[in-house]
Structure 1
Amino acid sequence: MLISRYSAPDFDPYGDNRPEDEGVLWAAPLASGPLDARLSLPGSKSLTNRELVLAAIADSPSRLIAPLHSRDSGLMVEALRALGTTIETVPGEGVFGPDLLVTPGELTGSTTIDCGLAGTVMRFLPPLAGLALGPTTFDGDEGARRRPMATTISSLRALGVDIDDDGRRSLPFTVHGMGTVDGGAVTIDASASSQFVSGLLLAAARFDSGLRLTHSGERLPSMPHIDMTIATLAARGVAVESPSVGEWVVSPGIIAGRDVAIEPDLSNAAPFLAAALVTRGRVTITGWPSPTTQIGARLEQLLPLFGGSVERADGLLTVTGRESIRGVELHLPEGGELVPNLVALAALADSPSTITGIGHIRHHETDRLAALVTEINGLGGAVTELEDGLHIEPATLHGGIWHCYEDHRMATTGAILGLAVPGIEVENIATTSKTLPQFPALWHTMLGGGSPA
C-alpha cells in the first residue's frame, strides 16, 4: 500500500465528494516540541445543515455567511436541490469558501437522495420529503445502512406519511410525499440520537396541525443539539414550547428567511486544542463564539480536567498544556462527538480514566466504542469497553496502522496520538472531508506554528 504525506485535496463540496486519496496511509506527524499555534476553523456542520433545511422551507430567500463546505454539507445542498430548492454560491468574506444563497421553491419528489454517511441528511430530510409531491428514495454509504432509522420511519408514519422500507427499518427507504403532512401528536424513543427530535422539529411548523412531540426513552443524548435546533427555529420566528422535560410543541406557521453567519465548528476544534495538552504547548482558536449552543463549547470546561489551562477573551480560546495529562472521571452523555478525541488524551494520561454516558456512540458513523478499544489496544493500549462507556489505563503505546472505519472523529483521534507516538499511520485520513476537508493542511499548519491563510 502506498505510504505518503497527504495534502488537502481539491475538494468540490457539490460534486461527487469522494476523495481520490482513500486508502492512502497518512504518516501522522510526530511533534518535535511544544506547539505555539493560532488557527481559524471553517463553519459548524451542525449549524450549516440546520440552516440549510430551514432556508429551504422558509418564506423568502436566506443567505448563509461563511458556511461549512464539506462532504456532509455538500450532500445536504445536493439533496435540497433535488427536492426543488435553488442554492447558489455567492462571493463572501469567509476564507474557507463562498456564501450560500438559498431560495425556497415548491418541494417536489420523484428523486433519489444520497445521504452518504450524514446523519443530518438521513434524519432531517425525510420530513421535508413528506412535504414534497412525489416519491423520494433515501440511500447512502454501506455504513449508513447500519445506522438507526426506525424512529424516523415510524414517527413519520404516525404523522400520516406513507413510507416504504420493505420492513428493513433502515436505509434504503422511499417517502411517498403528498405535498402535506398532517402532523399532530407523536411519541418516539430518541435514545439512539437527538437527531430524531431535531429532524421533526425543523419541519414541524410546515405540518398542517403542527407537532406535539414526546420522547419516551430513558435517556436523551446530546440535548445541546436539540437546544441548537430550537435556537435556530426561534431566530426564524418559530416558537418551540416545552411544557415538560422530553416534550416539545410547535404550532403551524411561517418560517422566516434570514441572513445568518455560521459559527466556526467548535467540535472540530477538539483535536487542535487537545494537541496543546499532548505537546505541552499552546494552541489558540480564533472566532470562538459566546454564547453558543454548540457542544464543542464544553471543551472550555473539559480540557482543564485533563490538566490543561484555558483562557477565553476577545473571541479567542487558548489552551495550554502542562507537564502531564491527567486521567479523568467523566459522565458525558451530551458530548458524544467529542469523546474519541478525549479518549486519545486519556490514552496518553498518567493515571486511569473512565468515561461513561456514551453508549449511544455505538450508533454513530461506526461503533465508536468498539473502534476505540480495537485501535488503541492494537497500539499497546489498555482500554476496556463498559456497558455505557470506556475505562482507560495508562500504557506505553507504539506505532502501527490506525484504522478509521470511515469515521472522521476516529481519523482525528489517530492524528492526536501520532503527536506523541512515533510510527502511527492513519488509514484514510481523507474521511475527515465529512466535516473538515482542510484537516490535514490545518494540522501541518498547526505543527509549523503559523497561521492559515
Structure 2
Amino acid sequence: MPLPSRCPPAHRDRVLTRTGNLTYMPDWTAPSADGPVAATLALPGSKSMTNRALILAALASAPTVVRRPLRSRDTLLMAGALRALGVGITGETDWTVTPAELRGPARIDAGLAGTVMRFVPPVAALADGEVIVDGDPRARDRPMGPLITALRALGAEIDDAGRSSLPFTVRGRGRVAGGTVTIDASSSSQLVSGLLLAAPRFDKGAEVRHEGPPVPSAPHLEMTVRMLRSAGVPAEAGENVWRVGPGTVDGGECPIEPDLSNAAQFLGAALVTGGRVTVRDWPAETAQPGDALRGLLERMGATVSYDADGLTVRGGGTVEGIEADLRDVGELTPVMTALAALAGSPSRFTGIAHLRGHETDRLAALVAEINGLGGDVRELADGLEIRPRPLHGGMFHTYDDHRMVMAAALLGLAVPGVEVENVGTVAKTLPEFTALWTRMLEG
C-alpha cells in the first residue's frame, strides 16, 4: 500500500477562518505531561449532528434554531453550501436557519468534509438550476460513485464526466422523483444518510437498500433516522434497508450534543498520565459512536464513571493492549492506535479497511508516522496491529487529517519532542483543540 501524500509546503500550518477557509500558522510541539492530568472540560457540539441539523432545517417548512452548533471548517462549509442554494443562516451562539426556495446556479466547496460532499448533492437535486460541487484535491479521491449512481436512479441529473467523483454538476429541476434504490455503502454510511436526509422532499420519498460488505459507522445511520423522526418525518430502519416517506420537515429547535468522538484524546490523556478527565454534559443516551469510548477505555485499563457532572475517566498508570472491531467507530481509530502504541501489551484493531478512503489513507498514515517515532505498527487487510516499543520525538505529519493531530497530541504526553505538522487542520472539527489541550494540562 503506497503511503499517503504528505502536505506540500504551500498547504501546511493552516487555521480556520470564519468562512471555512484555512490560513497558516506555525507547527506545534505537542506538550508533554509533567504528571497526572486533572481537568473538567466542556467540548463544542457534534459535527455529525450539526451538519444533519442544518440539512433538515434547510428543507423544513418553517425556521429552525440550531442550539449550540459546532463552528468548525466542516460545519462552516455546510452553512456556506446551503446559503449558496438560497437558505438563510444567521446567528452567533445559535444558528437560525430560514428555509427558502432552493436555486442555482451555485458553486459548492465541500473542502474535505464527507458530510458536505455527500449530504448536499441530494439537496442540490431539489434546486432549480445547476450546482457545481467540488472540494480540496484529496476530496476528489473520496468515494462518491455509489451516491451519484443512486441519485440518477432516483431521478436526478448529474454530469460527472464519467469520473464517479468530485467535481460534478447537479442539474437541478426543482424536484426528484424518489423511490427505491440499491446502493453499496460499504465505503461510508454517509452515502445512505445523504439520501435519507433529503428524501422527505422527494415525490415518493426513498427506500434505500444496501448490498455489499457491512456498512461502517452504523451508529451514524441510527443518528440520521432519529433526527428525521425528531423533525416529524416518517423514517424507519431494517436490516440493510431504510425507508423515509415523503412529507413535511418540521422547524422549531434542534439542540446539539457535545462531540463525543472529539472527547477521545482528552479522555485518553487520563489513561496515559494516570490522571482524571471529566467531559461535561455527556448525554445519558445517544446515537453518537463516540459513546463507545466508555467500554473501550475500560478495557484498556481505565475506570469510567458517569454522573450529573458528566463522564469521568481515571487512569491507573498503565495502558493495556486490546483486540477490538472498530467498524462502527472508525473515527476513533487514530486516538485508539496512539493509546495502543503507549500500552504495555500488543493491540489489534479490525473492521476499518474503509479508513483508507477518509481524509487520508488513515491506516497507512498511522503506520508511517508512529513507526517514524520508533513504533511498530503493521497494516492488516482490514486494520492495524500495534506492538508497543519505546518511542522518541520527531516530526508527525498529519496529511490534512484532523484525527492525526489528535493522535499526535496524545503521543506527545508521554513522548517529548513530538512536532505536529499542520496542526491547523484540526479546525476541521475542533478549532479550539490546542487551547483545550493546554487548559487540560493546566487543570
TM superposition score normalised by structure 1:
0.94
The answer to whether 1:18 aligns with 2:52 is: no
Q: Is the 8 A contact 1:8 1:437 kept in 2?
A: no
Distance 2:277 2:245 in 1: 45
Matched residue of 2:101: which SS? coil
Distance 1:49 1:230 in 2: 14
Q: Is the 8 A contact 2:14 2:23 kept in 1?
A: no
Identity of aligned residues (%): 57
Deviation of 1:25 after TM superposition, in Å, equals: 1.6
Structure 1 partner of 2:175: 180
The answer to whether 1:346 aligns with 2:350 is: no
Which consecutive residues of structure 1, in runs of 5 or more, have no partner in the other structure?
1-6, 91-97
Measured on the aligned residues, the alpha-carbon RMSD in Å equals 1.2
Pairing partner for 2:127 from 129, 132, 144: 132
Distance 1:56 1:141 in 2: 24
Alignment of 1:311-350 (within 5 A): 311-350=305-344
Deviation of 1:250 after TM superposition, in Å, equals: 1.4
Deviation of 1:20 after TM superposition, in Å, equals: 2.3
Distance 2:151 2:192 in 1: 12
Structure 2 partner of 1:36: 38
Structure 1 partner of 2:143: 148
Structure 2 partner of 1:386: 380
> Which amino acid in 1 is paired with 2:328?
E
Distance 2:251 2:68 in 1: 17
Q: Is the 8 A contact 1:110 1:136 kept in 2?
A: yes
Which consecutive residues of structure 2, in runs of 5 or more, have no partner in the other structure?
1-12
Deviation of 1:258 after TM superposition, in Å, equals: 1.8
Structure 1 partner of 2:108: 113
Deviation of 1:160 after TM superposition, in Å, equals: 1.1
Q: Is the 8 A contact 2:61 2:250 kept in 1?
A: yes
Alignment of 1:7-406 (within 5 A): 11-13=16-18, 15-21=19-25, 24-90=26-92, 98-242=93-237, 244-406=238-400
Q: Is the 8 A contact 1:8 1:440 kept in 2?
A: no
Q: Is the 8 A contact 2:321 2:344 kept in 1?
A: yes
Distance 2:390 2:183 in 1: 45
Q: Is the 8 A contact 1:83 1:111 kept in 2?
A: yes
Structure 2 partner of 1:4: none
Deviation of 1:217 after TM superposition, in Å, equals: 1.0
Structure 1 partner of 2:410: 416
Q: Is the 8 A contact 2:20 2:76 kept in 1?
A: no
Structure 1 partner of 2:10: none
Deviation of 1:16 after TM superposition, in Å, equals: 4.7
Distance 1:132 1:19 in 2: 32
Matched residue of 1:335: which SS? helix
Matched residue of 2:328: which SS? coil
Distance 2:175 2:153 in 1: 14
Distance 1:78 1:156 in 2: 22
Distance 1:419 1:387 in 2: 30
Q: Is the 8 A contact 2:154 2:177 kept in 1?
A: yes
Query: Deviation per CA, 1:368-395, whole angstroms, max 9, x where unpaired?
Result: 0000000011111001100000000010
> Which amino acid in 2 is paired with 1:17?
N
Distance 1:234 1:116 in 2: 29
Q: Is the 8 A contact 1:401 1:426 kept in 2?
A: yes
Distance 2:278 2:377 in 1: 30
Deviation of 1:253 after TM superposition, in Å, equals: 0.6
Deviation of 1:249 after TM superposition, in Å, equals: 1.4
Deviation of 1:315 after TM superposition, in Å, equals: 4.4
